[in-house]
Amino acid sequence: MGHYVKFAKLLALSIAIGVLPTLTACSSNNNQEPSGSPASTAESASSGAGTWEQKFNPPVTITTAIVDDGASRGNAFKPGESMEDNMNLRWMKENMGINVKFDFIVTKPEDYDTKLRLLLSSGAKLPDAFRAQGEPLQSLLAANKLMSLDEAIEKYAHPGYKELLKNYGYTLGEVKKDGKIYGLPSFFMGDEGTVMWIRKDWLDNLGLQPPKTLAEFENVLKQFTENDPDKNGKNDTIGLAVPLKEGPWTWMGQTDAIVAALTTQMINTSDIRSFWNKGEDGKLTYGAINPDAKLYLQTMKDWMSKGYMDKEAGIKDPSKSSELVASGKAGIMFGPAWMGDWPLSDATKNDPKADFEPYPLPAGPDGLVGRAEKMLVSGFTVFNKDFKDIEVWFAYFNKMFAKQLEQEGDPFFDPRWKDGYYEGYDYVKYNGKLIKGDYEAAGVPADQWPLKDGRSMDMRFMMTNILGSSVTIPYSNEAPVKKFLADPNAEPVSSKEFDVKQMKKKQIDGQGVRINQGITEGKNYFTGPMTPTMKSKGELLKKLATESYLKIIYGDQPIEYFDEFVKEWLDNGGQKITDEVNAWYAENQ
């Protein structure tokens, strides 16, 4: 099931060391009709095509749209700058001949989707390049409003990006129609896989070793619950902080590691689109109704009855559940490596001796160990079918991709971005050194800090504009993580290394545990759009599954109730969805 994860990591490594197809130059004399302007017979000549020097004359205007909630981030722009007027937009115009125009900027994702629906229903012009996902994306596809991209990818895309699309092709299900690609995926880093966070000081207080098996894990839960691990003389602690409001799978505190220690079937009750597991017969089935789920439910039911877990887990989301670890009342929580900063560091505010450390996931009775893969894609960049300047868009994208790749000899890599994007923004030079954060600690005078409060600038907002989202190469931070695990005092060289170097030590340690355990991640094999019955019955089935799981875990129903739940799930649209999912899979695998 998880060979693709290992392959993905090998792919990231091969990109990093330059095992890519031979870089080829694009045509340098294509006629261009500036987008967003009246039809013209003027030519926009491209100089330096296929290299970092590519520039268009006269300048080409590309229209776009974006969600910009200025209240949620104060470190994206300098005072006086904005999404529509900033250093990068000025640089793009002067150095690439690209003008960016925002057709609309909204503050909420739901307003963005509403705007797309209104444009579609009214027949108004769509932006040239913009982000879309979910129902609005499918409506645009159905109305034939989007550009097919296969030819443009082949002609203009960075060879490394072509390789990514080839090897992560399974993520393109939502933007494929009649065998063609109509959107470019916005990749995540892929580094949020589950690790096990445990209060080491509690282990030490009780003379316990980190658990390596599920049986040992249960014993630690018991000891943390019953034997006063914080030595305060009170019976006020539990073993596991877990949010179950949305079921076994969520963004923090998830219990996929428990599932994966008992079965190869990944489980999610909060989203009808996942997890769809592949059986020996090649068919896909919904993990939450697989008989193996009873192994997970029985385990969780036992732990709940013994008081090892939070009694209010069923009404808590991840943030609320994390308050237990922050307040010193729970000793274990599963989740991503970034938890090594927030929320786990908050525990030291209540107890300076609190020491959460990351550990490998425990193995089940049959030796199974694993976790579920978090989504690698968050939406897509799509293009108006009438867009004439896709080469211009790729010129900027390739530059951004090459910056992430940082491959020696890459003709798309812009040497002006060698140290960072813009001096005085994401980096400063002081006393012959390149400084990318902690400016005060580095001795940089306050008048040279990018922002008056000394914070680092978050360049993602400024650099995104026409791209739809920030450019990320999955798993590309693994080599830097390994470098700083081996030598925490090593000097960063590449931009990716600078990014990793700025992580908190425990976050790097957590990433190291995730990487070095080398386990298989369970894949969701359905990556297509919502099926018709998912749209009409999905919410009903989500509610049914989550509530049924909680009834069993809390002891309101016996484990045998699972079979009754499965029948009800299938009879109320689940069987029809299963048929639709497998019809999609037969056409797209």
Three-state DSSP class for 13? helix
Instruction: Compute the Cα dihedral for 87, 91, 93, 94 and give only its sign.
Output: positive
Higher pLDDT, 245 or 8: 245
Amino acid at 92: M
pLDDT single digits (tens) 468-480: 999 999 999 999 9
pLDDT single digits (tens) 188-236: 999 999 999 999 999 999 999 999 999 999 999 999 999 999 999 999 9
pLDDT at residue 483 in the model? 97
pLDDT at residue 63 in the model? 98
Residues forming beta bridges with residue 363, ordered by sequence position: 213
pLDDT single digits (tens) 278-329: 999 999 999 999 999 999 999 999 999 999 999 999 999 999 999 999 999 9
pLDDT single digits (tens) 338-348: 999 999 999 99
pLDDT at residue 369 in the model? 97
Q: Cα 428 to the chain's mean position, in Å?
A: 29
pLDDT at 404 over 90: yes
Cα maximum dimension of the chain: 84
> Helices H, strands E: what count in the chain?
20, 19
Going by pLDDT thresholds of 50, 70 and 90, the confidence category of residue 555 is very high
DSSP states along 152-212: HHHHHS-HHHHHHHHHTGGGGGGGEETTEE--EEEE--S----EEEEEHHHHHHHT-PPP-
Over residues 434-453, mean pLDDT: 94
pLDDT at residue 72 in the model? 65
Of the given ranges (72-81, 171-180, 425-434), which has the lowest mean pLDDT? Answer: 72-81
* CA neighbours closer than 13 Å in the CB half-sphere of residue 371: 30
pLDDT at 532 over 90: yes
Going by pLDDT thresholds of 50, 70 and 90, the confidence category of residue 67 is very high
pLDDT at residue 2 in the model? 39
Give backbone dihedrals phi and psi of 64, rounded to 5 degrees, phi first: -150, -175
- In this structure, what DSSP letter does residue 449 have? S
The class (CATH top level) of 3-190+378-421+459-467 is alpha beta
User: Cα separation of 150 and 155, whole Å?
Assistant: 9
587 C-beta neighbours (distance < 10 Å), count: 10
CB 112 within 8 A of CB 120: no
Q: Where are the chain's structural domains? A: 3-190+378-421+459-467, 195-372+522-583, 480-519
Whole-number average pLDDT of the chain: 91
CB 156 within 8 A of CB 391: yes
Output Rg (C-alpha) for the chain, integer angstroms: 26
Higher pLDDT, 369 or 43: 369
Q: Which two tokens stand for residue 274?
A: 């996942």
Burial of 234 (0-12, 13-18, 19+ CB in 10 A): exposed
pLDDT at residue 71 in the model? 60
Q: Which two tokens stand for residue 68?
A: 């910009």
Residues forming beta bridges with residue 82, ordered by sequence position: 85
User: Cα separation of 237 and 308, whole Å?
Assistant: 9
pLDDT single digits (tens) 393-403: 999 999 999 99
Give backbone dihedrals phi and psi of 119, rounded to 5 degrees, phi first: -60, -40
pTM for the predicted model, two decimal places: 0.88
Going by pLDDT thresholds of 50, 70 and 90, the confidence category of residue 411 is very high
Q: Cα 132 to the chain's mean position, in Å?
A: 16
Q: Cα 105 to the chain's mean position, in Å?
A: 23
pLDDT at 552 over 50: yes
Over residues 482-506, mean pLDDT: 94
Residue 233 zone, left/alpha/beta (φ > 0; ψ -120 to 50; rest) = left
Going by pLDDT thresholds of 50, 70 and 90, the confidence category of residue 1 is very low
User: Cα separation of 556 and 156, whole Å?
Assistant: 59
Characterize the bridge pairing of strands 98-106 and 60-67.
parallel
512 C-beta neighbours (distance < 10 Å), count: 19
Look at residues 213, 141, 212, 210 and name the one whose alpha carbon lies nearest to residue 180.
Answer: 141
Q: Which two tokens stand for residue 292?
A: 């193996």
pLDDT at residue 422 in the model? 97
User: Cα separation of 321 and 243, whole Å?
Assistant: 6
DSSP states along 65-77: EEE--GGG-SSSS
* CA neighbours closer than 13 Å in the CB half-sphere of residue 136: 22
Q: Which two tokens stand for residue 426?
A: 């994401």
Going by pLDDT thresholds of 50, 70 and 90, the confidence category of residue 520 is confident
User: Cα separation of 444 and 57, whole Å?
Assistant: 40
pLDDT at residue 44 in the model? 59
CB 137 within 8 A of CB 177: no
Cα-Cα-Cα-Cα dihedral of 380, 383, 385, 388, to 10°?
-150
pLDDT at residue 49 in the model? 78
pLDDT at 17 over 90: no
206 C-beta neighbours (distance < 10 Å), count: 15
Going by pLDDT thresholds of 50, 70 and 90, the confidence category of residue 27 is very low
pLDDT at residue 29 in the model? 36
Three-state DSSP class for 379? strand
Going by pLDDT thresholds of 50, 70 and 90, the confidence category of residue 11 is very low
pLDDT at 25 over 70: no
Look at residues 458, 406, 421 and name the one whose alpha carbon lies nearest to residue 437.
Answer: 458
Q: Tell the CATH topology of 195-372+522-583.
A: D-Maltodextrin-Binding Protein; domain 2 (3.40.190)
Look at residues 161, 172, 85, 115 and name the one whose alpha carbon lies nearest to residue 397.
Answer: 161
Q: Which residues of 330-363 are buried (b: 16+ CB within 10 A; e: fewer)?
A: bbbbbbbbbbbeebbbbbeeeeeebbbbbbbbbb
CB 574 within 8 A of CB 548: no
Three-state DSSP class for 86? coil
pLDDT single digits (tens) 129-171: 999 999 999 999 999 999 999 999 999 999 999 999 998 999 9
* Percent of the chain clearing pLDDT 90 (strictly above): 87
pLDDT at residue 15 in the model? 39
Higher pLDDT, 278 or 588: 278
pLDDT at residue 588 in the model? 87
Q: Which residues of 365-378 are buried (b: 16+ CB within 10 A; e: fewer)?
A: eeebbbbbbbebbe
pLDDT at 26 over 50: no
User: Cα separation of 397 and 412, whole Å?
Assistant: 10
